[in-house]
């Protein structure tokens, strides 16, 4: 059984109500309160102090603006005046950017700032009755992406998924999963190429190159004479010693990495996914997505 997801302090809980249900009630109440606050007109002074790090629009088809906003979604927190100044088209475009950033979290925790932006943008969005079908689909797709990320997290940890049946959700998660799995090897290779990673035929070649570099000054001092038998034996011994040294270093680094590895998925990630599914289901009519909101005692290791 997976450990319970830690919920925020929500005050006295009605007797007989489950903790998870109390948390969802609290979340919905907070969402409605935030909605009311963000719909109030911001003061002129509050808007005037917004700088370049707090833009208030996202023009359609502006790639530079898209790139800048992707940075803000991950590295800044939304300000009330900034959110209140955003118009509906910009909010919808930003929610699509959030979906794209969320898709990148299939093997990592969801950044806290990204969750804050998703929560805030959804609260600023118009009521479902004021949106067109294609606009509501933006919210639906975001929640579906959250469910797919949850499935990918489980697969990354356990090699398979025993989560509830998502097949009725337009086959969206399964299609994305297949596309990503097919493209991961290509993506990794492209990343290495872009980073200018050196191509090495084998560990032995890398070690030999390092040894040659280290003994080059000694060879220059002795001239260009070929290595005699003793020198060759010494050279091979040096290679073997260097390999052992590199192996020891690699094992030590791996051990340190395991010790520093963060919890995955962490509480923020689990709560963010549940929040996205809850808002889409309870405020935008996507009740069928509630299957993606797992019980806190959902078994993940069976």
58 CB-near residues (< 8 Å, 6+ apart): 65, 66, 69, 90, 93, 94, 97
Q: Are 239 and 208 in contact (CB under 8 A)?
A: yes
With tokens 């690699």, the residue in question is: 250
Query: Cβ atoms within 10 A of the Cβ of 297, count?
Result: 12
Is the pTM higher than 0.75? The answer reads no
Whole-angstrom Cα distance, residue 276 to residue 279? 5
Confidence of residue 181 (pLDDT cuts 50, 70, 90): very low
Q: Is the pLDDT score of 188 beyond 70?
A: no
Which pLDDT score, from 0 to 100, does residue 43 have?
84
Whole-angstrom Cα distance, residue 85 to residue 91? 10
Higher-confidence residue: 242 or 170?
Answer: 242
**Could you tell me the domains of the chain?**
19-193+265-292 (1.20.58.1070), 202-260 (no CATH)
Which pLDDT score, from 0 to 100, does residue 18 have?
82
Question: Which tokens sit at 177?
Answer: 């999963």
Question: Which tokens sit at 116?
Answer: 């804050």
SS (H, E, C) 149-196: HHHHHHHHHHCCCCCCCCCCCCCHHHHHHHHHHHHHHHHHHHHHHHCC
């Amino acid at each position: 059984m997976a450990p319970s997801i830690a919920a925020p302090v929500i005050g006295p809980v009605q007797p007989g109500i489950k903790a998870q249900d109390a948390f969802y009630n609290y979340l919905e109440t907070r969402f409605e309160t935030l909605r009311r606050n963000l719909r109030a007109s911001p003061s002129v002074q509050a808007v005037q102090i917004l700088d370049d790090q707090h833009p208030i629009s996202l023009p359609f088809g502006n790639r530079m603006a898209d790139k800048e906003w992707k940075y803000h979604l991950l590295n800044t927190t939304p300000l009330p005046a900034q959110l209140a100044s955003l118009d509906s088209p910009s909010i919808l475009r930003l929610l699509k950017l959030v979906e794209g950033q969320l898709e990148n979290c299939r093997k990592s925790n969801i950044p806290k700032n990204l969750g804050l932006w998703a929560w805030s943008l959804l609260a600023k969005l118009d009521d479902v009755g004021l949106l067109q079908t294609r606009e509501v689909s933006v919210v639906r797709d975001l929640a579906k992406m959250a469910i797919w990320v949850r499935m990918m997290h489980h697969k990354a940890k356990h090699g398979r998924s025993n989560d509830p049946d998502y097949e009725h959700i337009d086959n969206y998660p399964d299609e994305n999963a297949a596309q990503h799995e097919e493209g991961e090897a290509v993506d990794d290779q492209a990343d290495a190429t872009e980073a200018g990673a050196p191509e090495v035929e084998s560990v032995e070649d890398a070690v030999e190159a390092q040894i040659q570099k280290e003994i080059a000054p000694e060879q220059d001092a002795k001239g260009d004479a070929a290595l005699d038998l003793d020198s060759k034996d010494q050279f091979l011994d040096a290679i073997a010693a260097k390999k052992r040294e590199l192996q020891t270093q690699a094992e030590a680094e791996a051990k340190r990495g395991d010790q520093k590895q963060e919890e995955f998925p962490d509480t923020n990630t689990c709560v963010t996914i549940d929040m996205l599914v809850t808002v889409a289901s309870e405020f935008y009519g996507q009740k069928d997505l509630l299957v993606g909101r797992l019980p806190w005692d959902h078994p993940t290791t069976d």
